[in-house]
Amino acid sequence: MSAAMPRVSVVIPSYNHAAFIGEAVHSVLTQTLTDLELLVIDDGSRDGSLAVLRGIDDARLRIVAQANQGAHAAINAGLAMARGAVLAVLNSDDAYHPERLARLLAVLDATPEAGLVGSHIEVVDAQGRRLGIKHGPRDLEPWPLPHPERSFRRGDDLRATLLTENFWSTSSNFILRRALWERLGPMRPLRFTHDWDFALRAAGVAASVLLPEALLRYRVHHHNTIRADRAGMVFEICWCLAVHLPQHLADRAWAGAAPPATRVEQLLHSIHAFGCERVLAVMLLERLHERPEAALALLDRDEARRARYLAFIEETLAEAGGTEPPPSPRRGRLSGWLRRRG
Residue 83 in any domain: the answer is: yes
Phi, psi of 310 (to 5 degrees): -60, -40
Q: Are 176 and 72 members of one domain?
A: yes
Q: How confident is the model at residue 340 (pLDDT cuts 50, 70, 90)?
A: very low
CB 338 within 8 A of CB 327: yes
- Cβ count near 151 (within 10 Å): 23
Mean pLDDT of 17-34: 97
Residue 339 in any domain: the answer is: no
Rounded to the nearest 10°, the torsion over CA 168, 173, 178, 181 is: 40
Residue 205 in any domain: the answer is: yes
pLDDT for residue 181 is more than 60: yes
What's the pLDDT at 332?
35
Residue 96 in any domain: the answer is: yes
Q: How confident is the model at residue 221 (pLDDT cuts 50, 70, 90)?
A: confident
Residue 168 in any domain: the answer is: yes
CB 120 within 8 A of CB 210: yes
Residue 107 in any domain: the answer is: yes
What's the pLDDT at 322?
53
Output the CA–CA distances (angstroms, integers) from residue 250 to 37, 50, 80, 89, in the order listed: 39, 46, 31, 30
Q: What angle do CA 265, 146, 190 make, to 5 degrees?
A: 85
Q: How confident is the model at residue 329 (pLDDT cuts 50, 70, 90)?
A: very low
Q: Are 81 and 126 members of one domain?
A: yes
User: pLDDT per residue over 116-136, tens digit each?
Assistant: 999 999 999 989 999 999 999
Based on the structure, what is the number of domains in the chain? 2
- 36-43 and 8-14 beta bridge pairing: parallel
| CA atoms 125, 130, 136, 142: torsion sign | negative
Q: Are 214 and 275 members of one domain?
A: no
User: pLDDT per residue over 31-73, tens digit each?
Assistant: 999 999 999 999 999 999 999 999 999 999 999 999 999 999 9
Q: How confident is the model at residue 321 (pLDDT cuts 50, 70, 90)?
A: confident
Among residues 184, 201, 223, which one ends one of the domains? 223
Output the CA–CA distances (angstroms, integers) from residue 19 to 46, 200, 211, in the order listed: 12, 32, 29
Q: Are 174 and 94 members of one domain?
A: yes
Residue 332 in any domain: the answer is: no
Q: Are 79 and 179 members of one domain?
A: yes
- Cβ count near 215 (within 10 Å): 22
How far is residue 57's CA from residue 262's CA, in Å, rounded to a whole number?
56
Coil, strand or helix at 2? coil
Among residues 223, 248, 276, which one ends one of the domains? 223
Rg (CA), the chain: 19
Q: How confident is the model at residue 223 (pLDDT cuts 50, 70, 90)?
A: low
Q: Which residue has the higher pLDDT, 258 or 82?
A: 82
CB 92 within 8 A of CB 24: yes
Percent of the chain with pLDDT over 90: 84
Mean pLDDT of 286-300: 96
Q: How confident is the model at residue 218 (pLDDT cuts 50, 70, 90)?
A: very high
Among residues 176, 192, 223, which one ends one of the domains? 223
User: pLDDT per residue over 244-284, tens digit each?
Assistant: 999 999 999 999 898 999 999 999 999 999 999 999 999 99
Residue 2 in any domain: the answer is: no
Q: Are 212 and 233 members of one domain?
A: no
Q: What is the DSSP string of 204-236?
A: TTSEEEEEEEEEEEEE--S--GGGG-HHHHHHH
What's the pLDDT at 325?
47
Q: Are 315 and 179 members of one domain?
A: no
* Residues 6+ positions from 74 with CB-CB distance below 8 Å: 11, 13, 14, 15, 41, 42, 43, 66
- CATH number of the structural domain spanning residue 184: 3.90.550.10
What's the pLDDT at 3?
64
Q: How confident is the model at residue 324 (pLDDT cuts 50, 70, 90)?
A: low
In the chain, where do the E strands start and end? 8-14, 36-43, 61-66, 86-89, 95-96, 114-124, 130-134, 175-177, 207-219
How far is residue 135's CA from residue 137's CA, in Å, rounded to a whole number?
6
pLDDT for residue 339 is more than 70: no
Q: Are 277 and 189 members of one domain?
A: no
Number of H helices and E strands in the chain, helices first, is 13, 9
Percent of the chain with pLDDT over 70: 91
Q: Quick one: which of 89, 83, 49 has its CA closest to 71?
A: 89
Which amino acid, 178? Answer: R
Q: Are 108 and 211 members of one domain?
A: yes
What's the pLDDT at 331?
32
What's the pLDDT at 338?
36
Q: Which domain holds residue 291?
A: 229-320
Phi, psi of 96 (to 5 degrees): -90, 145
CB 191 within 8 A of CB 301: no
What's the pLDDT at 333?
43
Coil, strand or helix at 123? strand
Q: Are 277 and 169 members of one domain?
A: no
Q: Are 50 and 119 members of one domain?
A: yes
Q: Are 24 and 159 members of one domain?
A: yes
CB 105 within 8 A of CB 202: no
